[in-house]
Amino acid sequence: MPQQTNASSDAITTPVLTTLSSTTPDSLRIFALQVAREEQVSPYAMVYVLSHESDWQPDAIGDHGLAHNVAQFHEQTFEWMKQTAIKQGKPYQNLSYNSSKDQIILLAWAIKNGEGNQWTTFRKMP
């Protein structure tokens, strides 16, 4: 089950001020749009990738079992991006591959930092 956090731990682990109240598709959509706004990332890109990768389902598994959760990260790619973001000064030490919230946050970072092309759906985005 995806990890959920409370507002106080959000402030410690990430500059994203938005909290995720549940992992329903509607809650995830609202959260992704808020993260996009806060991180100054295209909301269209966020919604497009998350809709096509997982249809907003935290239990989505793809790419022959290698991609998981709403953003369909491979675990190795998640950890590489997380470490790269940390080196840039982002307080992402506590981001978890198994957290829908954290996958959305790291997807926003990826798009903002020119790594959106890691997702086929991003490359195919109209």
pTM: 0.84
Look at residues 43, 44, 64, 62 and name the one whose alpha carbon lies nearest to residue 54: 62
In the predicted model, what is the mean pLDDT of the chain? 87
Q: Please state the rounded mean pLDDT for residues 42-59.
A: 97
Look at residues 99, 111, 94 and name the one whose alpha carbon lies nearest to residue 39: 111
- Predicted pLDDT of residue 1: 39
Percentage of the chain with pLDDT > 70? Answer: 83
Half-sphere exposure at residue 89, Cβ-oriented, CA atoms within 13 angstroms: 0
